Amino acid sequence: MTLLEAPVKISYSNPIKEWYEDNTTQSQIKADTFENGMLITINNKDCYYKHLSSQFREVYISILNALGYKLKRPDVKEMIGEFIGKRVKLPTERVLLDLVNRKTPILLCGVHNYKPDDFRSRGKEYTHSHYYLYNIHHYLPSNARDLMKVKSSIKDSLGRYVNSRNYKRFQGIIDITNVNDNVAPLQLYEYLSSPNTNPHKSNLINYMANNRHLPNIQYPLTTIYSTKTLCSKSSNLI
C-alpha cells in the first residue's frame, strides 16, 4: 500500500513584519481613542502654502511642547514631497516602524485652498492646513476630562499659527478629531504612501493630498518626526 504524502504548505516570509515583531515592545493596553491617529485642522487666516509649509516643524514642536516635551528645530526631521511626482516622501519602512516602536509621534502635513466663494479665501486663493498625527496616543491621558484639558492645551499651543490675534473668538478655528481609518503599525507605511501608490483609495491621507478647491495646484505633503527618543535619552535615527 502506497501512502499519500501530505501536501506541502508554502509560506512566504515578510522581512518587515518579522523585523517589527522581533524589535517591538508589545503592549496589550490601548491608551485611548487616538490609536489610529489624530487629525488637526487649522483654519488659517490670510496664508499661502509657502507661509504655512515654512512652519510645519514649529507646529510639530509646539504640539509636543504642549505635552511637556521640549524639542529644538535641529531635533526634527522634515521630508517634503513633490508637486509633480511623489506627493509624499517617507523614511524607509523599517525606520518608520522603528519610530513607532520608540513611541515617536509622526506628523503628516497638508495644505488646502479654501473654496473660491468662502469669505476666508478673500479672492486671493488663501489656504488652510491639515495635520495627521500618528503615535500620539502614547502621550495622552485615558481619562476623558484630562484628555479634554490636553486637547485644549494643544489648541492653545497652535493658536499662533492661525495668523489672527482674535482666533479664540471663533469656535472650531482649530479642530482636533479622532481618525476613523484603521491604521495598525504594520499598515502605516502603505497608508501614508497612498497618494503615491493608490491615490484613488478613500482614506484620510488621500483626502489631505487632494486640493479639490483648486485642482490645478496639488500641494505636496510633508512628513515630520523627531530624531530624538522622547521617553528616554536621545538617540538619532536615519
CA neighbor of 77 nearest in space, from 103, 104, 100: 104
Q: Is the dihedral of CA 14, 17, 23, 28 positive or negative?
A: negative
Report pLDDT for 145. Answer: 93
Q: Which helix (H) or strand (E) holds 100?
A: helix 93-101
User: Residue 163: which pLDDT band, with cuts at 50, 70 and 90?
Assistant: confident
Question: Is residue 236's pLDDT more than 60?
Answer: no
Report pLDDT for 10. Answer: 41
More confident residue, 118 or 174: 174
Report pLDDT for 120. Answer: 83
Q: How far apart are CA 116 and CA 15, in angstroms?
A: 48
3-state SS class at 210 = coil
Per residue in 97-143, pLDDT (tens digit) is 999 999 999 999 999 999 888 888 878 899 999 999 999 999 999 89
Per residue in 186-220, pLDDT (tens digit) is 999 999 999 999 999 999 999 999 999 999 999 99
Choose the weakest-confidence range: 5-19, 30-44, 91-105, 200-214: 5-19
pTM: 0.85
Grid cell digits, residue 90: 517617507
What mean pLDDT is reported for the chain?
A: 86
Q: How far apart are CA 113 and CA 219, in angstroms?
A: 10
Strand partners, 109: 131, 222
Q: How far apart are CA 61 and CA 225, in angstroms?
A: 9
Grid cell digits, residue 80: 517634503
Q: Average the pLDDT over 11-37 and give the result.
A: 56
